[in-house]
Amino acid sequence: MDLERHEWLSQSNEIALDPHREIIDAHHHLWERGGSRYLAEELNADTSLTHNITKTVFVECKANYLQNELGELRSLGETIFVASEAERLKEISDTSIGAIVGFIDMSLGEEIAEIIESHVEAANGLFRGVRHATGWSEDSNIGNSHTNPSKGIMGNPEFIKGVQTLSDAGYSFDAWLYFDQLNELVELAERVPNAKIILNHLGGPLGIGKWNSKFQDVDTRWQESMLALSELRNVYLKLGGIGMDNYFGTGWAARDKPPSSEEAADFWRDKITRCIEYFGPSQCMFESNYPVDRQTLPYPVLWNAFQIIASGYSNSEQDQLFSTTAKTVYKIEDTET
């Protein structure tokens, strides 16, 4: 996965189809590691290009963990790092980071209460929740999430207690897992009905490994699970991750140049519109998943693809999809001073 092919990305320059509509980028990362850099300057370069990106939501990615701390406080380093980048972004950009979603191990159960408070203190008013990625597969060609989860971890009683403790403290839970695990998320959402749960990246309809030639099977199982999730009104959905060739097998990364926004919209339109139909615009929000999606899609192309797909919805529904839902879920307006 090469995220630094800037010359390749530059072959698909586009201007915004709608440069005035407010956009909250509901999911991005920050890091400097392994030859890849995405800090305040790079985020500003993307958000200031063409579209009206006013706020963003940072989501954990195991960046800048503390090296000298023991155990579960190591992830506090990421929250400290992002809070600092948020301050630097204010100095150079009209876009600001409106929320931080950090990492705390939910399997610690009720013990996370004190750890939450440490993240809240470190986040300078931006802490809004936790993501504990639980993607697991027995297929070595798919691989597991960066948290190294065990099979069925979301059904662990201590994990459920952790999500309940997080919710009781007033914070949300972001979930990233694969489509064939979505039944586990249904059960978790039912067990903790007061928890605000945000499912990432369209629920992970994989197109790699053992699933790379089973499109219809994947689609049928994914659709059934997404419909079941949509009936639980404490579950929200992020519409994005569409550039992740490493999970969805689009084939775009191997092309001579990136796809256009029309091509990206054609590829994802059916799944995204079905998600909106199931969950409703008030439960859905668009996300860039940058810089991960930079492996295949320039930032303006990605947002144009979303604007093409959303063009058939009413103005108020588009407002929800592009900004209002994210503001509500992550309490972004509460960060204004």
Q: How do the residues of the chain divide into helix, strand and coil, expressed in percent and rounded to 5?
A: 50, 15, 35
- List Cβ neighbours of 318 (8 Å cut-off, separation of 6 or more): 21, 281, 310
Residue 85 lies in a domain: yes
In one letter, which amino acid is 96?
A: S
pLDDT at 335: 41
- List Cβ neighbours of 197 (8 Å cut-off, separation of 6 or more): 163, 172, 173, 174, 175, 185, 188, 189, 234, 235, 236
pLDDT at 336: 42
Residue 244 lies in a domain: yes
pLDDT at 71: 82
With beta carbons less than 8 A apart as the criterion, state whether 242 and 248 touch: yes
Look up the pTM and report it: 0.96
Using alpha carbons, list the distances in angstroms from residue 100 to 37, 77, 85, 213, 237. Answer: 19, 13, 11, 37, 17
Task: List, for residues 88-138, the tens digit of each pLDDT value.
Answer: 999 999 999 999 999 999 999 999 999 999 999 999 999 999 999 999 999
Write out the E strands in the chain: 22-28, 31-33, 36-38, 52-59, 96-102, 127-131, 172-175, 197-199, 235-239, 284-286
With beta carbons less than 8 A apart as the criterion, state whether 188 and 197 touch: yes
Say how far residue 64 (Cα) sits from the centre of its chain.
19
Domain hosting 118: range is 6-335
How would DSSP label each residue in 180-242? GGHHHHHHHHHHSTTS-EEE-GGG----SGGGTT-HHHHHHHHHHHHHHHHTSTTEEEEE--T
Domain count, the chain: 1
With beta carbons less than 8 A apart as the criterion, state whether 129 and 144 touch: no
Q: How many whole angstroms separate alpha carbon 313 and alpha carbon 281? A: 9
pLDDT at 334: 44
Q: What is the CATH number of the domain that holds 211?
A: 3.20.20.140
Helix (H/G/I), strand (E/B), else coil: 56: strand
Residue 271 lies in a domain: yes
With beta carbons less than 8 A apart as the criterion, state whether 275 and 236 touch: no
Question: Which residues in the chain show pLDDT less than 50?
Answer: 334-337
Most distant pair of Cα atoms in the chain: their distance:
52
Residue 1 lies in a domain: no
With beta carbons less than 8 A apart as the criterion, state whether 42 and 94 touch: no
